[in-house]
């Protein structure tokens, strides 16, 4: 066994909105039988926020409440956590941190089709251009567990899920 004595690993899948986190996590959960924890959905369902940000049209999450809510699940292992931020989660929770990355033209189209406009669209595109989430992951977790993966098309997602499924199936073996 690896990672704090857990029998199954915990994986964080992060990246700018629109990079394919939720789709990738859903496919990975189906392939591995790990639990998919969509932090955005958890925040809404359990009211783990401090209101609504009008400018960015999203909840202002309470990071401490989110971590408290997830603590027991994470200690048990076997989770795929899906969220666009990562620096507030305890480092010991994760055995692998995946940062999905998407070409700006593809990302622009995905976000525009979701109705992102103005400052929300610009901010997310700039985050991807400047690799904000990759830098956040690298500064928050051991470099050897952080892996950036391209997520531009269905083929990329399939390849990523296959590679991560293989990693999960071999996790903890010497």
Residue range 53-73, pLDDT digits in tens: 998 888 999 999 999 999 999
2 domain-assigned: no
DSSP annotation of 174: -
Looking at the domain assignment, is residue 155 inside a domain?
yes
User: 117 in a domain, yes or no?
Assistant: yes
pLDDT recorded at residue 56: 83
Q: 53 lies in a domain?
A: yes
Residue 163 in domain: yes
Residue 174's pLDDT is what?
55
Q: How far apart are CA 101 and CA 54, in angstroms?
A: 26
| Residue 34 to residue 6: CA distance in whole angstroms | 13
CATH of the domain at 31: 3.40.50.300
Which pLDDT value is given to residue 142? 97
Residue 1 lies in a domain: no
DSSP code string of 91-107: GGG-SEEEEEE--HHHH
User: Smallest Cα–Cα separation from 90: which of 74, 114, 104?
Assistant: 74
pTM for this entry: 0.95
The tally of domains found in the chain comes to 1
Distances (CA, A) of 36 to 14, 66, 124, 136: 13, 15, 24, 22
Residue 128 included in any domain: yes
Mean pLDDT, each 10-residue run in order, the chain (174 residues): 76 98 98 98 97 90 98 96 97 98 97 95 96 98 97 98 97 78
**104 neighbors 112 (Cβ within 8 angstroms):** no
Domain span holding position 146: 10-169
Asked if residue 5 belongs to a domain, the reply is: no
Are the beta carbons of 84 and 16 closer than 8 angstroms?
yes
């Amino acid at each position: 066994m690896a990672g704090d004595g857990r029998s199954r690993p915990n994986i964080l899948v992060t990246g700018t909105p629109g990079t394919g986190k939720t789709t990738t996590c859903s496919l990975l959960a189906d392939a591995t039988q790990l639990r998919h924890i969509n932090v955005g959905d958890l925040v809404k369902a359990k009211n783990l926020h401090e209101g609504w940000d009008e400018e960015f049209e999203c909840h202002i999450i309470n990071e401490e409440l989110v971590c408290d809510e997830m603590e027991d699940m994470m200690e048990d292992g076997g989770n795929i956590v899906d969220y666009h931020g990562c620096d507030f989660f305890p480092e010991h929770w994760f055995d692998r941190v995946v940062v999905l990355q998407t070409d700006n033209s593809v990302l622009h189209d995905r976000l525009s089709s979701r109705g992102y406009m103005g400052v929300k669209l610009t901010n997310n595109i700039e985050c991807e251009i400047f690799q904000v989430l990759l830098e956040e992951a690298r500064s928050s977790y051991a470099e050897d567990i952080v892996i950036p993966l391209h997520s531009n098309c269905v083929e990329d997602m399939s390849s990523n899920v296959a590679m991560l499924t293989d990693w999960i199936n071999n996790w903890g073996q010497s």
